[in-house]
């Protein structure tokens, strides 16, 4: 797992304290897609304006917000020359998710490097300077940092460790950073890419039909032979996860939709696997404790299930600590998270098979099974 794997690269260890500052002549264009982000956009912009690297422009692309997001960004634009508000306008047919506002930001920017940042994220003051210096020295053409995640709400605390663990299992950083591996992934919170690389691979236009556009873009970039790298960056980037239960579930369906599109209804087998790994042992122990059978086989089975439960408690605890910096008691919520994860796999599979809409950020997206 990325969050608990000791061998996963840590950006703080990768950068040298004695390194020279980056070439200030290189412009970095920060593109921030924003849709109804009035709660966090000001904090995000403050962190971007406080960067030690000064040769940058900040382009906030309003994606048809219905709250005060445009007004808040406008107030920053009036005070700071480096901030610019751009309206994404109506999405053309075939575009889904945040790919359209990201593409609109690219069309409006002039930087040699592009940095895509989520509107609910904040960056440490030296993040951009350190990252730019690092990618140039290491000849990295697309770079991403995993963030520290602020988790609020019981449902989010129950689900996120499982989501993070699943991503880390499918896309371990060592494999993603291995040029000989096909594994590719980036964290949409922070994606730094050379402009020429973004343009040559088609950027967000190439993945315009993908709900999980960041992973799709990483896959194409790596397939084209460019140097892709991700590292742990909790000391440099932080973000907030959804706290509303319905938004958390929508987010689950969004993440799961990619695998369902690729593997079809076979993905439901994953739901069965998760059930037998996480929920079945709890049910077995509960039934055993209630009826006290004398069978030695059932007794051994109970011991094995107890060890399984303790293992998942430990994994949930370490994963939560890795993504949020806190252990806490939320590890005991993993059965709830498992149940929701299983439900989301089933509901997403049904929706995609019936071409029903998947909701995300207040919008409906229709996914179709790949043939």
Each residue's pLDDT tens digit, 324-354: 767 677 788 999 999 999 999 999 888 888 8
Distances (CA, A) of 120 to 54, 204, 301: 22, 20, 46
What predicted TM-score, i.e. pTM, was given to this entire model?
Answer: 0.86
Print the domain residue range for 232.
11-242
Q: Which of 199, 220, 242 is the last residue of a domain?
A: 242
Instruction: Round the CA-based radius of gyration of the chain to a whole number and report it.
Output: 22
Residues 185 and 303 in one domain: no
Residue 73, SS3 per DSSP: helix
* pLDDT at position 3: 41
Q: What are phi and psi of 187, to 5 degrees?
A: -95, 120
Q: How far is CA 6 from CA 10, 166, 313, in A?
A: 9, 17, 19
Q: Are 83 and 74 within 8 A, CB to CB?
A: no
Please provide the average confidence, as pLDDT, over all residues in the chain: 88
Residue 318 lies in a domain: yes
Angle subtended by helix axes 334-353 and 154-170, to nearest 10: 70
- In tens, the pLDDT along 75-127 reads 999 999 999 999 999 999 889 889 999 999 999 999 999 999 999 999 999 99
Q: Which of 242, 264, 294 is the last residue of a domain?
A: 242
Residue 353 pLDDT: 80
For residues 265 and 117, state if they share a domain: no
Asked if pLDDT for residue 269 goes beyond 90, the answer is: no
Residue 262 sits in the same domain as residue 155: no
Predicted local confidence at residue 7, as pLDDT:
62
Distance CA 6, CA 99 (A): 33
Residue 34 shares a structural domain with residue 165: yes
Secondary structure class of 176 (helix, strand, coil):
helix
pLDDT tens for 122-178 read 999 999 999 999 999 999 999 999 999 888 888 888 888 888 877 777 788 999 999
215 touches 136 (CB < 8 A): no
- For the segment 37-75, what is each residue's pLDDT rounded down to a tens digit? 999 999 999 999 999 999 999 999 999 999 999 999 999
Q: What is the pLDDT of residue 371?
A: 46
Q: Quick one: what percent of the chain has pLDDT higher than 90?
A: 58
What is the C-alpha to C-alpha distance for residues 191 and 161, in angstroms, rounded to an integer?
22
| Judgement on whether residues 315 and 236 belong to the same structural domain of the protein | no
How many CB atoms are located within 10 Å of the residue 64 CB? 17
**75 and 88 fall within a common domain:** yes
Q: Are residues 319 and 252 both part of a single domain?
A: yes
Is residue 261 domain-shared with residue 320, that is, in the same domain? yes
User: Which pLDDT belongs to residue 20?
Assistant: 53
**CATH code where residue 52 lies:** 3.90.550.10
- The residue written with tokens 């998947």 in the block is 358
- Highest mean pLDDT: which of 254-263, 300-309, 362-371? 300-309
Confidence label for 259 from pLDDT (cuts 50, 70 and 90) = confident
- pLDDT reported for residue 210: 86
236 lies in the same domain as 98? yes
Spatial separation of the C-alpha atoms in residues 340 and 352, rounded to whole Å: 18
For residue 1, being part of any structural domain is answered with no
291 and 222 share one domain: no
In a shared domain, residues 331 and 362: yes
Domain count, the chain: 2
Let me know if residue 2 belongs to a domain: no
Residue 71 belongs to some domain of the structure: yes
* Model pLDDT, residue 167: 79
Q: Is residue 319 part of a domain?
A: yes
pLDDT (0 to 100) of residue 74: 97
- Confidence (pLDDT) at 367: 61
Cβ neighbours of residue 76 closer than 8 Å, sequence gap 6 or more: 42, 45, 49, 83
Give the β-pairing of 121-123 and 28-34: unpaired
Q: Is residue 29 part of a domain?
A: yes
| Better-scored residue on pLDDT, 276 or 368 | 276
Q: Is residue 3 part of a domain?
A: no
Last residue of a domain, one of 210, 226, 242: 242
Higher-pLDDT residue of 282, 315: 282
Q: Of 120, 122, 61, 107, nearest to 87 (Cα)?
A: 61
Q: What is the pLDDT of residue 6?
A: 53
Burial of 180: CB neighbours in 10 Å, binned 0-12, 13-18, 19+: exposed
- Judge if 209 and 334 occupy the same domain: no
- Find residue 85's DSSP bridge partners: 60
Residue 155 lies in a domain: yes
Cross-strand partners of 61: 33, 86
Q: How buried is 368 (Cβ within 10 angstroms: 0-12 exposed, 13-18 middle, 19+ buried)? A: exposed
Element (H, E) at 260: helix 245-263
């Amino acid at each position: 797992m990325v969050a608990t794997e000791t061998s996963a690269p840590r950006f703080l260890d990768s950068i040298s304290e004695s390194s020279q500052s980056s070439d200030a002549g290189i412009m970095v264009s920060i593109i921030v897609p924003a849709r109804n982000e009035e709660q966090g956009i000001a904090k995000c912009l403050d962190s971007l304006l406080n960067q030690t690297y000064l040769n940058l422009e900040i382009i906030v692309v309003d994606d048809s917000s219905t709250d005060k997001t445009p007004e808040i960004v406008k107030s920053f634009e009036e005070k700071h020359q480096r901030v610019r508000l751009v309206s994404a306008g109506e999405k053309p047919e075939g575009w889904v998710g945040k790919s359209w506002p990201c593409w609109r930001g690219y069309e409006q920017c002039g930087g040699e490097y592009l940095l895509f940042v989520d509107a609910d994220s904040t960056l440490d003051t030296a993040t951009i300077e350190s990252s730019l210096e690092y990618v140039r020295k290491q000849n990295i053409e697309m770079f991403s940092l995993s963030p520290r995640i602020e988790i609020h709400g019981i449902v989010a605390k129950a689900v996120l460790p499982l989501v993070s663990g699943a991503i880390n299992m499918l896309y371990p950083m060592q494999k993603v950073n291995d040029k000989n591996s096909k594994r590719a992934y980036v964290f949409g919170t922070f994606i730094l890419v050379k402009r020429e690389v973004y343009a040559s691979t088609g950027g967000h236009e190439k993945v315009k039909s993908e709900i999980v556009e960041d992973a799709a873009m990483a896959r194409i970039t790596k397939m084209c032979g460019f140097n892709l790298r991700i590292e742990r960056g909790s000391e440099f980037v932080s973000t907030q996860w959804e706290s509303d239960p319905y938004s958390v579930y929508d987010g689950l369906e969004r993440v799961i939709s990619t695998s369902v599109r690729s593997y079809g209804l076979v993905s439901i087998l994953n739901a069965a696997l998760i059930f037998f790994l996480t929920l079945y042992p709890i049910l077995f122990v509960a039934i055993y404790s209630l009826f006290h059978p004398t069978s030695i086989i059932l007794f051994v089975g109970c011991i094995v299930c107890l060890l399984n439960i303790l293992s998942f408690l430990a994994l949930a605890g370490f994963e939560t600590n890795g993504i949020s910096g806190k252990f806490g008691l939320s590890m005991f919520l993993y059965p709830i998270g498992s149940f929701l994860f299983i439900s989301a796999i089933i509901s997403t599979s049904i929706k995609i098979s019936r071409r029903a809409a998947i909701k995300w950020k207040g919008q409906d997206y229709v996914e179709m099974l790949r043939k």
